[in-house]
Amino acid sequence: MSELRRILYVEDDPDIQSIAEMALVEVGGFEVCLAGSGTQALRLAEADHPDLIVLDVMLPDMDGPATLLGIRAIESLIDVPVVFVTAKVLASEVASYMELGAIGVIAKPFDAMKLSSQLLELWCSRPTP
């Protein structure tokens, strides 16, 4: 199992972007690439090929699930694990995200100090393709 190093974080709110970046870089020691929209996320993901993509569900142009479908449509990204971050954590919604192929869902607002360890945990317990 490879190590989790590079994370693409997709979030339209710049403040949350900054917090997530600090949380993942300073606390988790990860390399973080930030995207402000689904379109930008697809472009960056194709270019950088991250180990893990973290998707906010609510995004301005195309939402999280649509972005996930876009990512899966790219040959080279077909196996990249995806985690959703969302305020919508109803059981039914969680189930639908999981069905889309996400490896987990993190509730918003997240604990900045625990974000890295939560992602790492999901990364480690992800189903091996």
Partner 1 sequence: MIAPPVADNEDERLRALHGLGLLDSEPEERFDRLTRLAKATFGTPFALISLVDADRQWFKSNQGFQATHTSREVSFCGHGIAAADVMVVRDAPGDPRFADNPLVTGDPKIRFYAGAPLEADNGSRIGTLCVIDSERRDWSIEDSRALRDLADLVEEEFRRVATENQQRAVLALTAITALSDADPRDSLRRALRLGCDYLGLSQGVVSRIEGTDVEVLVQVSAGDSLRDGQHVSIDETLCALTLGAADVLAIHSVARSSYAHDPALRAVGIEAHIGVALEVAGTRYGTLSFASCDTRSAGEFSDADIAFVRLLGRWVAAVIRRIQLATDLAVQQEMAAIVTRAQSSFIEVVDRRATFNGLLEDILRVTGCEYGFIGEVLSRPTGTPFLRTLALTNIAWNDAIEASFAQHLEEGLEFDNPETLFGHTLTTGAVVMSNDPAADPRAGGLPAGHPALASYLGVPVMRDGMVGMIGLANRTGGFTDQDIAFLQPILVTCGQMIEVWQETRERREDRRTLARLSTVASQMPSGVIITGVDGHIEWNNDAFSRMTGFHPADLIGTRPRDLLHGPASDPATINSVFAAMSRREAFAVELLAYPRAGPAFWVKLNADPLVDENGEPEGYMVMVADISDRMRIERMKREFVSTVSHELRTPLTSITGSLSLVAAGVAGDLPEGAHRMIGIAQKNSERLGRLIDDLLDMEKLVEGKVRLDMQVCALVPVVERSLEENKGYADGFGVAYAFSQDCGPVLVDVDPHRLQQVLTNLLSNAAKFSSHGSTVEVQVTRDGSRVRVEVRDHGRGIPYEFQGRIFEKFSQADSSDSREFGGTGLGLAISRELIHRMGGTIGFTSAVGVGSAFYFDLPVSAMRDPASTAAGRHTES
- Single-letter code of the amino acid located at 8: L
Minimum CB separation of residue 26 from partner 1 in Å reads 4
Asked if 117 contacts 28 with a C-beta cutoff of 8 angstroms, the reply is: yes
Binding mask of the shown chain, residues 11 to 50, with x at each position contacting partner 1 by CB under 8 A: --x-xx--xx-xx--xx-----------------------
Question: What binding mask, one character per residue, do residues 82-121 give for partner 1 by CB under 8 A, x or -?
Answer: -----x-xxxx-xx--x-----xxxxxxxxxxx---x--x
Least Cβ distance, residue 75 to partner 1 (angstroms)? 27
Residue closer to partner 1, measured from CB, 47 or 90: 90
Q: Are 85 and 65 in contact (CB under 8 A)?
A: no
Q: Which of 53, 62, 59, 80 is nearest to 12 (CA)?
A: 59
Q: What are phi and psi of 27, to 5 degrees?
A: -85, -45
- The span from the CA of 34 to the CA of 11, in Å, is 7
Q: How far is the CB of 51 from partner 1 (least distance, A)?
A: 19
Axis-axis angle for helices 38-48, 64-72 (nearest 10): 30
Minimal distance, residue 49 CB to partner 1, in Å: 26
Residues in contact with partner 1 by CB under 8 A are 13, 15-16, 19-20, 22-23, 26-27, 87, 89-92, 94-95, 98, 104-114, 118, 121-122
